[in-house]
Structure 1
Amino acid sequence: MRRDSERGNGTADIHAGIAGERAVMLNSAIQASLQRARDLHERGALAEAQQLYRGVLTMEPNNATAQLLLGLLCDQTGDPAEAEKLLARGLQFERRCAWAFAAHGMVLAKLARYEAALVPIDEALRLDPNHAPAHVGHGNALLGLERYAQAQAAYERALTIAPKYAEAWSNRGNALRALGRPADALISFDRALQTAPHGFAVHTNRGHALRDLGRHEDALRSYQLALVVRPRVAGILSQCGSMLLMLGRDAEALASYDEALEIEPDDLDVLYNSCVALDLLHRHDELLTRCEQVLSRAPEHAAAWFGKANALHGLRREAEAAVAYGHALVLDPDLHTALSNQGVALRMLERYAEALENYDNALARVGAHAQLLVSRAHTLQQLGRFDDALASYEAAVAVEPTDADGWALRGRALQQLLRFDEAVECFHRVQELEPAKAGAHQEEAYCQLTIGNFAVGWRKYEYRWADPDAARSHRHPNRTLWLGKEPLAGKTVLLHSEQGYGDTLQLCRYASLVEARGASVVLEVPAPLKELLSSLRGGYRLVAIGEPLPDFELQTPLLSLPLAFNTDLQSIPAQVPYLYANAARIHTWGERLRARAPSGRLRVGLGWSGNSRHANDLNRSIKLSALAPLYALGATFISLHQEVRERDTAALAQSGLIHFGAELENFADTAALIANLDLVISVDTSVVHLAGALGKPVWVLLPSVPDWRWMLSRDDSPWYPTARLFRQGKPGDWPDVIERVARALAQRIAQNSRE
C-alpha cells in the first residue's frame, strides 16, 4: 500500500511538472508571437501582424496586450467598430496603459460616440498628463461635440508636448475652420504637411480651407493631391467637380462627378451636382434624364425640378418648362431664379401678362428684390413698355448698387430707348465692378457699332470670346491670330465662320482683301453655304466646317476682319454682287416659278422670321399674318423659308404664297430662286444678307433698335447698296412698318406696270 501511495504521488508530481513545462512553453510561444507581431506591425506588414495577434488570442483569449495591439491595428486598417470592441476588452485586464485609453477614446470619436470618448481619454490623461495622443483624442471628441474653441486648446496642448505632431496640426486646422478662421486653419494644415507630406486627410482639409477662402484653383490642387495618396475617393472627386465648376471648367467638372458616380452611384448629391454641370454645358437631353433620376428618388427635390425645367426650356418645351418651374416654386417659394426663369418660359410662350403678374405678386410678397425686378423689366420690354422696364431696372440697381448684372440690363434697356450714350456709361460701370469679366465690353461694342463709332466698336467686339456661349464656338483659338499687323505675302491664312449664316454671307467679302495682301486664303464655312460661296471671286480654297483643313500659318474669324482692316463707313468693301447664283440652278428655279406664278407680275420674295433661338428673335421676327396687307397688291409673293414655324402654318395655307419648302435644299437653291425675283422683302435674317450679296433689291423690316450692322436713322445700308431699310417708329409697331412697305410696294408695282 505504501508503495502504491508513493507511486501515486510520484505520478502527480510528474504531471504537474509536465503541465508547468507546457505553461512555460506556451507563455514563451505567446511572448514570441507577440514580439514577432509587434515587429511586423511596426514595419507595416499589417496582414501578417493581424494573423499573429489573432493566433495569440486563440491560445490565450484574454491576453490584454494582443487585444489592445490588435485593436490598434484594426483602427489603422479602417475597421473602427472592431477596434473599439478589442480595445474595450483589453482595457478590462490592463488598466495602466495611457496609450490604450487614448486609443479607445479616439476610436469612439471616429464612431461619433463623442461623449463616451471623453471617459477613456480623461483616464489616459490622469495616467499621463503629458500623453500627446490623449490630448489629440480629447480634441477630436470636443470637435465632434462642436465645442470648437476647447478642441483648439486641446490640440495646442498636444503641440506643446509634441511640436511636430501632424495629426494635432491637422485637426487644429479643422477646429479653426469650424471657428470661421480658414486662413489660420491653412497655416495649421501646412505645418501638418511639413511632417506628413502624404497625409490624405490633411490634403483634403487643406482643400476645404482654400475653398473657404475662395482660392478655387489652389483648393482643386489640394484635392487632386489627396487623390494621388488615395485614388478614386468619391467625396474628393465630387469636391474636385465643385471647384472645377467654380473655375468655369464645366466639362472637366462633369467628368469628375461621373467618376464619383461610378464609385458611389447612389450618391444623390453628386448626381444632382452633375446636373448643374450639364445645365452649364447646355446638354439638355442628358440634363433632363439625370434630373428625372434625382426626382425618382427624391420627388420633393426643388433644385432638381428647377434643373428639369431648365432642360425643358433648353429643348424648347416651354409649356412643360413653365409647369416644372411651378413645381420647384411650390417646394421652395424662395427659389427666385426659378420664378425668373418661369417668366422666361412664359415669355417664350408669349404669355407676357401672366409673367408680369407672377413677378408683381412675388415682389408684393418678398419686397424689393433685384433679380425679380430685373426679370420683371425683361417682361415689360417684351410688352413694349420700355420706360417702365427702365424704371424696374433702376429699382433693381437701387437694391443692389454693386450688382453688375443689374447695371448691364439697365444699359440694354437704355439701348431700347435709343439712349446709347447713357447705355455706354452703364457698361463702363459694369467694367469697373467686374474688371475680370468681358461681357460689358461686348455690350459696349454693340452700342458703339450701332452709332457708327467703328474704331472703338471693332476693338471692343474682340471681347466676345470671353462669353461662354461664344467660346464654345471658338475654333482654332490656339493658332496665331491675324488682326492686320503682320505681313501676309506668301502665307496661308484661314478665314473661318463663327456665328450665324448671315454673318458669313456679310463678311466673306473680306477674303478678296486678304488675298490682295499676297496671302493664300482658306475659307472655312458651314456646309449649307459651301456650294454658294464657291462663287466668291478669287483663288480661295473652300472647306466646310468639319472637313480636314490644309496647313495654314495664321487664322482670323470672319467677324474680326473689319478690325483687321480698320473698317470705317468710308472703307466698307460694298461692291455688289460678290456672290452669284449658279446658272443651271437659276434656269431650274425659273422653270419652277413659271409653272406656278402668273407671268408679267412683280415677283416678291418674303421672309418673316429667323432662327427662333436667336437672342433677339422676339424683336426681329414677326408672324406671317402681319404681312397680310401686302397680299391684296398685284404681285406674286414667294416664301423664302425652307421651314415654317407651327404658329404660321395656318396663315401660310390661307395666304396664297408660293412655298417651295424642302425643295430649297441649301443656300445655293435659295440664291437661284432669289435670282428669279424682282424684289426681296424680309425681316433681319440671313435671307437679307444673301439678297444683298447677290445685288438684288432687298427691303429690310427692322425693329426700333436693330442689330448693329443696320445702324440708326438711315434708310440705306453702307454694307448693301441695294438695300432699303424700313424701321419701326416706336418699339413693337410692326403695323406701321408694314403699312409703309405696302405703300412703297404699290408704287413699285405701278412702275413695273408702266415699264
Structure 2
Amino acid sequence: MVEIVLDKNLTTDKKGERKDVDQETVDLSLSSKLDKKLQEAIELHQKNQLIRAKKVCGQILSINSQHTSTIHLLGLIAFQENQPQKAAKLVQHAIKLDDTRPAFYRSLGSILQHLGQLQESINAYQCVLSIAPNDHKTWNDIGHLFRLLGKIDQAYTYFQNSIAILPNYSAFYNLGLLLQERGQLEESVAHYKESIAINPNLFQAYSNLGNVFQEIGQYNEAYSYYQKAIQINPKYFEVEMNLGILCMKMETPDEATKHFQRVLQLNPKHPEAYNNLGLTFQQQGEVEKAKFCFRRALEINAAFSDAYTNLGNILLKEDEGINKAITLYNRAINVDPNNYEAFYNLSYAQHYQGSFEQALQSCRHALLIDPNQAKAHINYSMTLLTMGRFSEGWKEGEWRWKDVAFESEHKRNFPQPLWDGSSLTGKTILIWLEQGVGDQIMFASLLPKLQQQARQVIVETGKRLIPIFQRSYPDIDIVPAQNPPDSLLLGNSIDFQSPIASLPQWCLPDEVSFPRYQIYLEDCSQKTTMLRRKYQKLAGGKILIGISWKSTHNSAGKLKSTSLTNWESLLSQTGCFFVNLQYGDVKQELEEFTQQTGIEIYCDEEINSLESLDDFASQIAALDLIISTSNTTVHVAGALGKPVWTLLNYVPSWRWMIDRSDSLWYPSMVLFRQGCIGDWSSVFQSVHHCLKNFLQSLSKFNEDCPSGN
C-alpha cells in the first residue's frame, strides 16, 4: 500500500535561511492554510473523489509550486487513475525537491514494482532504509522483490532482518512462502504458524499450510487448514479449488464436486473449476456431465490446453471417438506446445489408430518435454515392439520399473545383482515372474535358453503355475512366491536375479532369435486323457472346440472382447461340440445365450481355471481346436502346442505385432485380425470359413488316429 503523509516542514525556505518575525508570521499563516488544503485533498483521495482531490492540489500548487507533499499526492492519484508512468515522474519530482522523505521513496518503489521494474523498485526501497534503517516493512518489501527476481538468498536475509527489527506476520508469511518454494517444508510450516500467531485472521497462511500438508500427503491436516481459511474468508475461492483437488486425492469425489461448484458460485467464469469439476464427474462415471464441463471450460477459455486433453481422453474411450480425440489433442498442443499429457495421450491414440510412426514421433515429443516420464517410455516401448523393433523396444520397456504404480505392485526385492546379459557359465540365476499369467507363460519359453547357459536356474512363481512348471521344467528349481521371499533365495549362492519380462532384452534382440518351440509346457496326461474321453462321449463324435470370448484386462479388455452374439453363426456350425473356456462366472451369460439362440455351450463345472491352472491346461489339451480372443486361454493353448485361433482387435497387444497371421511366440497359433476398429463381423466370417476347412482335415486325421490327444 502506498503511504500518504502530511508535510510538516513548511516554515523554512529551501535553503533553511532564518526569516524576520513578521515574514515568519505570514509564512506560518500560509503554512496553516496549505496544511488544511492538503488534508482536504488527502481526505478526498481516500474517498476516491479523485477529480476534486486534483482540483485542491492545483490550488495548493498555485500558491507553492514546489509543495512536495502535494506533488507526491498527485503522483498517488495518477497511479490510482492507472497512469503509472505519470505517477512515477511526479513522485520522482517530489523526491528531487526533497530527498529526505522515506514515504516518497516507498511510493516510488511501489509504483516501479507495478511497472515491472523490480530492480529499480529495490533501489527506491533501499533509499528508504538509508534514511530509516529500522523500517521493518521496507526490509520485508525488498525481500519480496528479491524473491520475485529469484534471488532467494538475498530475499531470505531481508525477511530475517525485518523480523529481527520487529516480529511481524508479513515477513514470517513471506519467509514461509520462500521456504515452501525451496522445498524446505518443515521450516515453511513453522514460519506460517508464526505469522498466524501474530495475525490469527491471516487466511492466506492457513491456505498455504493446507498446500504444504497436501504436498507431503498429510491430507487430514491439509483439510483442516483449508477449512480454517474458508471460515475466515468464505469467499476465498482459491481455497475452495484446493479443497476440491484435495478431496479428489482423498477419493471423495462427491465432496470435491461440492467445492468446485462453490468456486463457480463465487466465480461463474472460472475455467479451471469447470475442468476440475469435469474430472470429478469423469471419476464418478458421469461422462456426459464431464464432457459438458470440459466444453464449458473451453467456451470460457479457448486456449485452455488441459481441457482439450481431458475432453479428448473421454472421447478416446467412446466408439468411433479416436479421430475426435486426436483432433482435440492436437488443439491442446497448438495452444501449449509443452503440454506433456497431450503429446502422451496423442501417442497412445495414434498407436491404437494404427499410425505407429506418428505415435513414435508424438512420444518422442512428450519425452523431450519430460524425459523422466516412465509411462511415456513404456508407450514408446509398446509401439516399437508392435513394429518388430525388438532391441530398442526391450530397452525402453525397462522403464516400467520407474513407474511407481507398476513397481509397487510387481517389484520383488532380492539382494543379488540384476543380470546384465553377461556369461552365465557356472552361474546360478534366479528368475521371478511379473505381470499376468499369460505374460508369465509366454516369457517362460525363454527358460530353456537360460538352462543352456547357466549352471542352475531357479524360478519363483505363483502357486497356480507351480504344478505345470514343475512338470514342464524338471531340471529347474520352481519355488512358490511368498512375502517375504523364501530365505533360500536371499543367499549369495545365487549370482544373478532377473524379472522374467527383462529376459528378452538379452535373449530376443531380433525376430530370428525367437525360440519357436512347438511345445514347451506339459499338461497332466492322465487328467487330459480322462477329460478327452469325457468330452468325446458327450460330443458323440463331433469335433471338440474350446471357446473364450472376452478379456477382463483393466484398460484394453473392452477392445479385446466380443459378445457371445458375435459367435452365433460360428457356434451354429454342425459337427462341432463347443466347450466353454471362459474364466470367471459366466453361467448367467451362457444361459441367456442358450435361451435366445437355442445353442448350447458345454460348461465343465469340475474345471475352475482361477483355482487350478493345471486342470485348465489339461482341459485345453483335451480339445481339438481353441478359438479365443486374446487372453490367458490362448497363451496356455499356444504353449501346449494346440491349434489355437486368436481373434484380435484392430491394434492388439504388442506381442501379436502387425500385418501377420502367425505368432513368433506360438507356432501353432493363427491370428485373425479386425480390418478396422470394432469390426468383428469380418473376423468371424474368416474364422467360419477356416473352420469348415479345419473340420474336413481334422475329420480325416481323427479317422486315422481316433484316440489322438
1:617 aligns with 2:617: no
Q: Distance in 1 between matches of 2:463 and 2:261?
A: 40
**CA 1:726/1:343 → structure 2, altered by over 3 Å: closer, same or farther?**
farther
**CA 1:384/1:718 → structure 2, altered by over 3 Å: closer, same or farther?**
same
**CA 1:200/1:603 → structure 2, altered by over 3 Å: closer, same or farther?**
farther
Give 1:670's aligned amino acid.
F
Q: Distance in 2 between matches of 1:439 and 1:419?
A: 19
**CA 1:262/1:416 → structure 2, altered by over 3 Å: closer, same or farther?**
closer
Q: Distance in 2 between matches of 1:329 and 1:229?
A: 31
Kindly indicate whether the alpha-carbon contact (under 8 Å) linking 2:466 and 2:478 is maintained by their aligned counterparts in 1.
no
Kindly indicate whether the alpha-carbon contact (under 8 Å) linking 1:200 and 1:226 is maintained by their aligned counterparts in 2.
no
Q: Distance in 2 between matches of 1:541 and 1:200?
A: 68
TM alignment of 1:413-428, pairs within 5 A: 413-428=349-364
1:732 aligns with 2:678: yes
The one of 641, 644, 652 aligned to 1:695: 641
The one of 515, 530, 548 aligned to 2:485: 548
1:397 aligns with 2:325: no
TM alignment of 1:505-520, pairs within 5 A: 505-520=441-456
In structure 2, the partner of 1:539 is: 476
In structure 2, the partner of 1:301 is: 259
In structure 2, the partner of 1:370 is: 305
**CA 1:363/1:495 → structure 2, altered by over 3 Å: closer, same or farther?**
same
Deviations 1:657-690 (A, max 9, x none): 1224673323222212111111111111121111
Tell me the secondary structure at the aligned position of residue 430 of structure 1.
helix
Tell me the secondary structure at the aligned position of residue 468 of structure 2.
helix
Kindly indicate whether the alpha-carbon contact (under 8 Å) linking 1:424 and 1:447 is maintained by their aligned counterparts in 2.
yes
Q: Distance in 1 between matches of 2:413 and 2:444?
A: 20
**CA 1:172/1:734 → structure 2, altered by over 3 Å: closer, same or farther?**
farther
Q: CA deviation at 1:753?
A: 3.2
Q: Distance in 2 between matches of 1:490 and 1:174?
A: 71
Q: CA deviation at 1:577?
A: 2.0
Deviations 1:611-630 (A, max 9, x none): 241x2222211222222221
In structure 1, the partner of 2:503 is: 561
How large is the RMSD of aligned CA atoms in angstroms?
Answer: 5.0
Q: CA deviation at 1:535?
A: 2.9
In structure 1, the partner of 2:431 is: 495
Range 520-529 or range 621-630, more displaced: 520-529
Instruction: Name the % identity.
Output: 23
Deviations 1:124-177 (A, max 9, x none): xxxxxxxxxxx9xxx9xx99xx99x9x9999979976998x8x95x99347743
Q: CA deviation at 1:449?
A: 0.8
**CA 1:338/1:226 → structure 2, altered by over 3 Å: closer, same or farther?**
closer
1:643 aligns with 2:584: yes
Kindly indicate whether the alpha-carbon contact (under 8 Å) linking 2:532 and 2:623 is maintained by their aligned counterparts in 1.
no
Q: Distance in 1 between matches of 2:439 and 2:146?
A: 56
**CA 1:152/1:490 → structure 2, altered by over 3 Å: closer, same or farther?**
same
1:628 aligns with 2:564: no
Q: Distance in 1 between matches of 2:246 and 2:452?
A: 46
In structure 2, the partner of 1:10 is: none
The one of 620, 623, 626 aligned to 1:680: 626
Kindly indicate whether the alpha-carbon contact (under 8 Å) linking 2:385 and 2:654 is maintained by their aligned counterparts in 1.
yes
Q: Distance in 2 between matches of 1:491 and 1:400?
A: 53
Q: CA deviation at 1:712?
A: 0.8
Q: CA deviation at 1:383?
A: 2.1
Q: CA deviation at 1:557?
A: 1.8
The one of 397, 402, 408 aligned to 1:472: 408
Bigger RCO (CA 8 Å, 6+ sep): 2
In structure 1, the partner of 2:81 is: none
Tell me the secondary structure at the aligned position of residue 623 of structure 2.
coil
Q: Distance in 1 between matches of 2:361 and 2:526?
A: 54
Q: Which runs of 5+ in 2 are unaligned?
A: 1-101, 231-237, 703-709
TM-score w.r.t. structure 2 length? Answer: 0.66
Q: CA deviation at 1:272?
A: 9.8
Q: Distance in 1 between matches of 2:208 and 2:293?
A: 37
Q: Which runs of 5+ in 1 are unaligned?
A: 1-134, 247-252, 281-285, 306-325
Range 541-550 or range 456-465, more displaced: 541-550
**CA 1:390/1:594 → structure 2, altered by over 3 Å: closer, same or farther?**
same
**CA 1:630/1:508 → structure 2, altered by over 3 Å: closer, same or farther?**
same
Q: Distance in 1 between matches of 2:267 and 2:690?
A: 51
Q: CA deviation at 1:330?
A: 10
1:449 aligns with 2:391: no
**CA 1:302/1:696 → structure 2, altered by over 3 Å: closer, same or farther?**
same
Q: CA deviation at 1:471?
A: 2.9
1:663 aligns with 2:601: no
Q: Distance in 1 between matches of 2:423 and 2:161?
A: 55
Kindly indicate whether the alpha-carbon contact (under 8 Å) linking 1:701 and 1:737 is maintained by their aligned counterparts in 2.
yes
TM alignment of 1:596-615, pairs within 5 A: 597-613=538-554, 615=555
**CA 1:510/1:193 → structure 2, altered by over 3 Å: closer, same or farther?**
farther
Kindly indicate whether the alpha-carbon contact (under 8 Å) linking 2:398 and 2:502 is maintained by their aligned counterparts in 1.
yes
Q: CA deviation at 1:210?
A: 4.4
In structure 2, the partner of 1:78 is: none
Give 2:600's aligned amino acid.
G
In structure 2, the partner of 1:177 is: 144
Kindly indicate whether the alpha-carbon contact (under 8 Å) linking 1:604 and 1:678 is maintained by their aligned counterparts in 2.
yes
Tell me the secondary structure at the aligned position of residue 410 of structure 1.
helix
Tell me the secondary structure at the aligned position of residue 575 of structure 1.
coil
Tell me the secondary structure at the aligned position of residue 465 of structure 2.
helix
Deviations 1:92-146 (A, max 9, x none): xxxxxxxxxxxxxxxxxxxxxxxxxxxxxxxxxxxxxxxxxxx9xxx9xx99xx9
Kindly indicate whether the alpha-carbon contact (under 8 Å) linking 1:586 and 1:675 is maintained by their aligned counterparts in 2.
yes
Q: Distance in 2 between matches of 1:750 and 1:724?
A: 18
Deviations 1:422-452 (A, max 9, x none): 2212222222222333433222211111111
Q: Distance in 1 between matches of 2:281 and 2:227?
A: 35
Tell me the secondary structure at the aligned position of residue 512 of structure 2.
coil
Range 642-651 or range 260-269, more displaced: 260-269
Range 399-408 or range 659-668, more displaced: 659-668
1:572 aligns with 2:509: no
Q: Distance in 1 between matches of 2:354 and 2:644?
A: 25
Give 1:637's aligned amino acid.
F
**CA 1:380/1:300 → structure 2, altered by over 3 Å: closer, same or farther?**
closer
Deviations 1:669-715 (A, max 9, x none): 22121111111111111211111111111111111111111111110
TM alignment of 1:118-137, pairs within 5 A: none
Q: CA deviation at 1:480?
A: 5.2
1:187 aligns with 2:154: yes
In structure 1, the partner of 2:273 is: 335
Tell me the secondary structure at the aligned position of residue 724 of structure 1.
strand
**CA 1:260/1:359 → structure 2, altered by over 3 Å: closer, same or farther?**
closer
Deviations 1:22-43 (A, max 9, x none): xxxxxxxxxxxxxxxxxxxxxx
Deviations 1:225-267 (A, max 9, x none): 879999xxx9999968855866xxxxxx33x345677999989
How many residue pairs were aligned? 565
